[in-house]
Structure 1
Amino acid sequence: MATLHTLASNAGMLKALQSLHYISPIAVAVYFLAAKTLAACLLHQPSKQAGKASRRLSGIALLFAIVATCVAQGIVYAIQGARDTGHWPSEDSIIYVLLSIFAYGSLFLGLIENKTPIWHPYLGAWLIGFAFEVPCVVLEALVAGRHFAALCTALQAARAMLLLVLCVSGFYFALHDRRISHKKSDETAPLLANGDTNGHAIEPAQQSQYGTADGDGSNIDDEGDDTDVDSDSEEPERDKELKATQRKRLKESGSWLNYLKDFKIFIPMLWPSRNRFVQACLGTVGFVLFAERFLNVLVPRQLGIITNKLTETAGTGIVPWHAVGLWMLFSWLSSQAGLSLIKSLAQLPVQQFAFKSIGTTAFRHIMSLSMDFHNDKNSGELIRAIEQGQNLQGLLEFMCFEVGPMFLDLIIAFVYVYTLFDIYMTLILLVVGLAYIWIGAKTTSWSVKQRRRFNTAWRNESKVQNEAINNWQTVSHFNRGEYECDKYARTIDEFNGAEWDYYLAYYTGGSAQSFVMLIGRLAATSLAVYRVAQGRVPVGNFVTLTAYWRSVEGPLAQVSWSIRRVSQMLTDSERLLQLMMTKATINDQPNAPDIIIKAGEVVFDQIEYAYDKRRTTLKDISFTAKPGQTVALVGETGGGKSTMLKLLYRYYDVSKGCISIDGQDIRNVTLDSLRDSFGMVPQDPSLFNVSIMDNIKYARLDATDDQVKEACRAAAIHDKIETFPDKYKSTVGERGVKLSGGELQRVSIARAILKQPKIVLLDEATSMIDAETEALIQEAFKRLTASRTTFMIAHRLSTIQHADLILVINDGQIVERGTHEELFRQNGKYVALWSKQLSKDVKDIGGALHVEEGDEALIDVNVDEPQKPQARDDS
């Protein structure tokens, strides 16, 4: 009875030991991975003492010793199996050793690669490892009948002791760092808590100046400049700046979860809530992706079934048509002519919906932003933001349609190869997969600098080439052809050197990954052959594994690339996110009505405005433009004349005072109705690169061709247009570059005449027109401005002498007002402006051509033998 009790007890301990062998290394690895992931998501930062060499090197040494004990235990098991084939170590013991090497080896590599580690994931992993190793040691010592039990127990006891040392050291240093941190905080704290010496509260942003320190002592923004920016970008500096902005916003968010919350503004753009057809396409894509996961397994599995049936019926003439038919069906469904075709056709409407939704929403947002934004904008950057922001569509598809299925394929692969053979095959796949991903990540990291240098050299080569060709005349004028050829040759040499360095790293890394995959395939094949030879699995399993391995290689090859691709897509989407989070400074008031203009009386009441708060642009501007009057604004450049029209157009809101039209404050009416009431002829007109007819019709989209021509006759441009080869169908070039300055301005005037606005704004509308044409234009203006309130800015004072009210603007203030005759009688600033325009004579030209002795000395380039300037004979 005692013997039976002993055997039962021994069996129970053996079962417990087997369970611990599986659980212990898995628990260590899973906790470490989860803790690292959580730390990354919550943006944990290492403390100031984290990178001390003594701590890190000690940890590396102890972890190396732990890995060495695991390797030594594996060697003991190998010797045991070699000496006594009948007592080969149990599966749980081998798995325990292999997984322990993997788990503690990961911690070991983590400390080697990271010079300033976050220690709490390591400390937690050591605690878990120690907690499991202690019962393993006890059970290993108590279980009877195990070969080399004493040696294995000694190795496990040593491992437990090493883990205990790591745990104790970790706790000691954590307490030590906390004590030092509190001590520094006490020594540097102000006498008054959260206040200065005068008792005033200190803002959180100011506390760091008074010595308070947060626990981590680090800053995301303090990262080095060697960040992994978009290596293919044509603007690496802009990408680096964007990365810095992204890191700053990430830090302010506090976690990746909060950071990604801002992206929720894109959900309405990406989800087709009202489009049933696109929703059906999404459902179809999801169904196909789900089916493809099964087909990846079913095709090689069916091939194995055919092999087994052929092995059983070989030579009998029996053909397993049912199995072959299923294999043909599965093969067709998994081909490009099967479910992949359906998926591709279903994805297209989804892509088009997201592309249109993101593009139109972003474009509408840009067009709604205020003038202060557009004055500071970089058009190329805005266009790029929309283009790259549409990568958000690709990000969603990539995550749902590629990354998700890829990881699901890997999980299925681990489970399936286990069912085909045993856990050793799964371990081979796990080791190969992790090694493949690790090499890919390291290769990408190593090649970033080379790739950046390669792309910079590539852009520089193209830049030198294009600039020399485009500036051929300049090169010829200075006879620098040979210089440019040598310069271009040097850029080619730089490009070749950078290309060599980049592709050396690229191909070396790719070859290393291929070698790891080859070793894994050979190991898996060898194990499969061994299992078939043992009779433990049928031949079909070997065929299935061989065919299925391709389904394993594909996802592994994409993992490291996918991580980099997702990171880049997030960076591209950051551009669009920043744009979409930019708010217009000029908006409609809630429930604002449309403006109603009956008479057209415009009142500026004590207006003040400043582009920059440090300098006032307009000050105390008050006047009334009565219905039908023409108000002229004159003065020196930069006085604020154009700003007054911009305030009237409500490109900006006044800082003080009020602008009203027929008693309606322009801030209380809708922007569309306000701006639709104006007809603007700008100083620098800009046209679209379409026909003249379409450009003029832009003012009134429903206008007829005859109305356009009548407006052109009134603007004295019709006869000129009729001389063009394509007449009104002539395209004008980008911004109207094919037209002369006078033609461009007259087309702009025709556009204003066609609109028939209620209030007319003329900003230097005749600045590029000759005197003869100006007379014709003045007649057109009389028809345009008849019974309409008109504002006119002019430097050519002859064009405004018949205005009903002339305002002389100087340094942002109205210094004189009145009619032409009244201002002349005042003999003030207005008269001075007229005098300047009429006082130019030939004497000014002669003075400009006169060269003094000092001027000759300034242009003397003979620096070796400077000549003394000779006196000019003016006789």
Structure 2
Amino acid sequence: MATNGVKTALKLLHYIAPTSVVVYFVLAKTVAACFLHQPSKRAGLASRRYAAIGLLVGVLVTIVAQGTVYVLEATRDPEWSSSQDAAVYVLADLLAYASLTVGIAENRKPVWHQYIGAWSVGLVMEVAPTTLQPLAEPTRHRYAILCEIFHVLRTLFLLILTVGGWACTLYDRQKLVSGKEAEPLLSHETNGHATKPAGYGAVTANGNGVTPHETDEDEDFDVDSDSEEPDRDKELKATQKKRLEASGSWLNYFKDFRIFIPMLWPYKNRFVQSCLGVVALVTLAERFLNVLVPRQIGIITDQLTEGGGNGVVPWRALGFWMLFNTLSSSAGLSLIKSLAEIPVQQFLYKSIGSSAFGHIMTLSMDFHNEKNSGELIRAVEQGQHLQGLLEFFLFEVGPMFTDLIIGFVYVYTLFDVYMTLILMGVGLAYIYIGAKTTTWSVKARRNFNNAWRNEAKVQNEAIANWSTVSHFNRGSYEKERYSKSIDEFNAAEWKYYIAYYIGGSAQSVVMLIGRLAAFSMAVYRVAQGRAPVGNFVTLTLYWRSIESPLMQVSWSVRRLSSMLTDSERLLQLMMTKPTVASAPDAPEEGEVEFDHVDFAYDPRRPTLKDVSFTAKPGQTIALVGETGGGKSTIIKLLYRYYDIGSGSIRIDGQDIRNVNLDSLRDSFGLVPQDPALFNISLIENIRYARLDATDADIVEACRAAAIHDKIESFPDGYKSTVGERGVKLSGGELQRVSIARAILRQPKIVLLDEATSMIDAETEAVIQKAFRRLTAGRTTFIIAHRLSTIQHADLILVVGDGRVVERGTHEELIQRRGKYVALWSKQLSRDVGEVGEALGDVEPEQAVLGVATGTSEATATEEAGSDER
């Protein structure tokens, strides 16, 4: 009885020992990867690596020798072959320690605690079988003695590895504490400051949000080789790595991705939730069908074999096979799944796209002044690829690993554990070869794409600049240059396809060897009578379901990397916050007052200094001065494109920072210096100012802006398209359409920013009439270089070097003969003295008016009468 108990314990240990080593190592490696454990400086010492590899080779030799003994013993005594646990122990140990050996051999700076812990577990698990083996087999013979010797040697090797590993770890820790190598494994701070994620608004020394040394290390970043922007992708990889290191772990890194959860999960859309449920149920059903279809064929085979020739048809088994086969066909569950996926994909596409676009629209002017429109559009487009992220994890990665686990278990039930070991060995070898060949092929593919782009660049530049090539007679030079680029392309292509095909062939060979070994084992078991024929048929049909997830592992890892790169673009964008935003519960009314306002785009160079003025309701405030003085900045601050540095801008006594931003901007009607229109019809462009306006409202606004008759003269009238940014219209037409939009908006405050600077005098006269209709009874701010357009303003502010240097009406400023008169002088090409002499003979306003407009007194009177009419 005692001997039987020892044998039972030994059998359990044969299964538990190698499994414990593998499980510990996988868990330790996963934890190290999640928490970004980094090797110490001394981790890469060659003496340690070679010593560890040598001892592990010794362990492998003892395992192989013990397996050879088992084979010889089985040959001598066929009954012994029933000791399945011993064979499994040898094979599993071989897989476990071979994996550890390869891991150290390939990694020049391994994270040693993963391996030392695995050796420690292996040592503990090896001591017990070594002790129990003599007790389980009291009758000693040479085979048992040899196995005992190999057990002792393996235990000794593992003891040396474990003790040596922990000794080196303690030694390195003492070195670290003593300060000789005092540096953290993972730095969370740089120069005393916490590292922050670089984004669209983050700029470092080289101006792109990435430190120079990060962008130079090509080998550190697995850039998508098919990318059209490898430099930008490499930059994103560097940013991603920087954020990952700053976060300290993958768990913290993914916390930022919570911003995508509201976009990816349909909280309020019951229909999309139902579709997701259908997809989940079909995916689960497909896992069962992968097994049921080949299993049913096996059942039919067994029934036909048992009753062969008796005329009995296994209709029930055949009917189930037909049902399962129909459900697994493209007209079965996969059709339902495809139809259910469409609403899910459309929801995610809309959710991500509209969220990203809406966020861009809320960002402040400082962001849009620095933006790269192409990069923003690319970020949104690639971010929409995240619609597959949810499906990828739930319906691809999950089922893939589920199929592998089911495959291991099912082939065990069909035959025995040997079949599972074959499958595990094939899987590990296939994944390992796939990982290595993918690394080689990605590097080769990157060089191949670079050579391809270079060839196209040389060709395009030479053709596009043919005249220059011809002028300098460099045709032969360009031909030689292009020929060289083709040679470089061919060489890169050759290296890429060599790596690609050799890698694919190596994986195919591994899969072929595994298939042949599995089928041979199956035939052997059937021939021995240990399994029915149907099991062999089932295995041959089911093997494809085993191979498929193995083939997807490398591809899934690369796709996940690509998705994370795409999401990094969108994440940077979504984490960019507007510098100007509405305060919570802000009111929706207000008027304007500047009170000691200071502002600077760059803190090193103030733009506005102590600007103060008050705009009474219905008044016209004119801002004049030399270019760069700060006039447009005042309008931008009034629009709250930026927040001021100090002072306040008040609306009815309340700071506009506490006023609802949408309400504030709804109260403005802006006529810019350079109006821009959408490439749609005129009526749609004008209605953009007030979306609920009727066609009659639009026509009335156009009449008031003196543009209606002109529009009617167009072949398509108000339905005429205006081209990109309105290029089909003249400057005066553009200006009047812009005024019509402002009139249609019915604003409380009118902003005219250099609205007539590029208009001829005749057109300006027409536009000025439209301006008078627009500004009647409204508070108006005018920026003007043509001083003739602002003479009747209630208050003229002369802005220079960021300050209000003069203020008053036109008459008051003329009498002061200061900066305002100097501006008039420059426009009239006369100096201040000449203007003063002219003012001594006539009334100041008449003199300035007459000279400025270049008209006679009679012409001025005629125009005044025309205005009255």
| Greater CA drift, 708-717 or 296-305 | 708-717
Q: How far is the alpha carbon of 1:315 from its aligned partner? A: 1.8
- The alpha carbon displacement at 1:653 in A equals 1.3
Any idea what SS the aligned residue of 2:670 has? strand
Separation of aligned partners in 1, 2:463 and 2:342: 42
Question: Does the C-alpha gap of structure 1 residues 329 and 694 become closer, same or farther in structure 2, counting only changes over 3 Å?
Answer: same
How far apart are the structure 1 equivalents of 2:799 and 2:720? 40
Q: Deviations over 1:441-497 (max 9, x none)?
A: 111111122222223333444455555666677777777777666655544444333
CA contact (8 A) 2:43 2:110 kept: yes
Partner of 1:665: 655
| 2:71 paired residue among 72, 78, 83 | 78
Segment drifting more, 687-696 vs 177-186: 177-186
- Structure 2 equivalent of residue 808 of structure 1: 798
Distance (Å, rounded) in 1 between the aligned partners of 2:309 and 2:635: 98
The answer for the alignment partner of 2:39 in structure 1 is 46
How far residue 777 of structure 1 moved from its aligned partner, in angstroms, is: 0.6
The 5 A counterparts of 1:196-595 are 224-226=217-219, 227-464=221-458, 487-595=481-589
The alpha-carbon deviation at position 370 of structure 1 amounts to 1.4
- Which whole-Å CA distance do the structure 1 matches of 2:457 and 2:811 have between them? 60
1:681 aligns with 2:671: yes
Counterpart of 1:787? 777
Report the TM-score, using the length of structure 1 for normalisation: 0.88
Aligned to 1:645: 635
**Distance 1:797-1:222 versus aligned 2 partners, 3 A rule:** closer
Alpha-carbon distance in structure 1 between the residues aligned to 2:473 and 2:356: 49
Is residue 2:157 matched to residue 1:167? Answer: no
Point out the more displaced range, 142-151 or 576-585.
142-151
- SS at 2:722 equivalent: coil
Give the letter aligned to residue 48 of structure 1. Answer: K
Distance in 1 (CA, whole Å) between partners of 2:477 and 2:723 is 36
For 1:847, the equivalent position in structure 2 comes to: none
How far apart in 2 are the matches of 1:609 and 1:67?
Answer: 74
Asked if 1 retains the 8 angstrom alpha-carbon contact of 2:225 and 2:449, the reply is: yes
Contact (CA 8 Å) 1:634, 1:794: kept in 2 or not?
yes
In the alignment, is the contact (CA less than 8 A) between 2:455 and 2:485 conserved in 1?
Answer: yes
Quick check: 463-472 or 150-159, which moved more? Answer: 463-472
* Alpha-carbon offset, residue 525 of structure 1: 0.9
Task: Specify the code of the residue in structure 2 equivalent to 1:533.
Answer: A
1: distance between equivalents of 2:460 and 2:773? 51
Please say if residues 629 and 790 of structure 1, whose CA atoms lie closer than 8 Å, have aligned partners that are also in contact.
Answer: yes
Which of these residues, 714, 718, 727, is aligned with residue 728 of structure 1? Answer: 718
Deviation at residue 425 of structure 1 after TM alignment: 0.8
- The answer to whether the 8 Å contact 2:215/2:238 transfers is no
Instruction: Name the aligned partner's letter for residue 64 of structure 2.
Output: V
358-367 or 647-656: bigger deviation? 358-367
The equivalent residue for 2:208 is none
Q: 2:123 aligns with which of 130, 147, 153?
A: 130
| Kept after mapping to 2: 8 A contact 1:749/1:765 | no
Q: State whether residues 215 and 235 of structure 2, in contact with CA within 8 Å, keep that contact through their aligned partners in structure 1.
A: no
The corresponding residue for 1:624 is 614
AA in 2 matched with 1:520: G
Structure 1 residue 662: Cα displacement: 3.4
Q: What is the DSSP-based 3-state SS (H/G/I as helix, E as strand, rest coil) of the residue aligned with 1:791?
A: strand
- 1:72-111 maps to which residues of 2 (within 5 A)? 72-88=65-81, 90-111=83-104
Residue identity matched to 1:398: F
Q: Secondary structure at the match of 1:148?
A: helix
- AA aligned to 2:489 is F
Deviation at 1:72?
Answer: 1.7
Which deviates more from structure 2 when the two are superposed, residues 816-825 or residues 118-127? Answer: 816-825
Q: Structure 1: 5+ residue runs without aligned partners? A: 1-7, 190-202, 210-219, 842-875
TM-score computed with the length of structure 2 as normaliser: 0.88
The separation in 1 between residues aligned to 2:665 and 2:462, in whole angstroms, is: 47
Kept after mapping to 1: 8 A contact 2:598/2:608: yes
Partner of 1:633: 623
Given the superposition, is the C-alpha separation of residues 427 and 147 from structure 1 closer, same or farther in structure 2, using an over 3 Å criterion?
farther
How big is the shift at 1:546?
Answer: 0.5
1:310-361 Cα distance to aligned partner (Å, 9 max, x none): 1122222221111111111100001111111111111111222222222222
Gaps of 5+ in 2: 195-212, 832-869
The 8 Å contact of residues 77 and 89 in structure 1, kept in 2 or not, is answered as no
Please report how far the alpha carbon of residue 595 of structure 1 lies from its aligned counterpart in structure 2 after TM superposition: 1.1
Determine if contact 2:597/2:645 at 8 Å carries over to the other structure. yes
Indicate the residue corresponding to 1:751 in structure 2. Answer: 741
Distance 1:58 1:772 in 2: 93
Give CA-to-partner distance per residue, 1:752-811, whole Å, 9 cap, x none: 122221111111111221111011111111111111111111223332233232222111
SS of 1:38's partner is helix
Q: Say which SS state the counterpart of residue 50 (structure 1) adopts.
A: helix
SS at match of 1:817: strand
Q: Alpha carbons of 1:100 and 1:840: their partners in 2 closer, same or farther (altered >3 Å)?
A: farther
CA, structure 1 residues 622+479, in 2 after alignment: closer, same or farther (shift >3 Å)?
farther
2:147 aligned partner: 152
Aligned to 1:121: 114
Give the counterpart letter for 2:515 in structure 1.
R
What secondary structure, in the 3-state scheme, does the structure 1 residue paired with 2:799 have? Answer: strand
Compared CA separation, residues 794 and 408, structure 1 to 2 (3 A): same
Q: In structure 2, how many angstroms separate the alpha carbons of the residues matched to 1:292 and 1:764?
A: 68
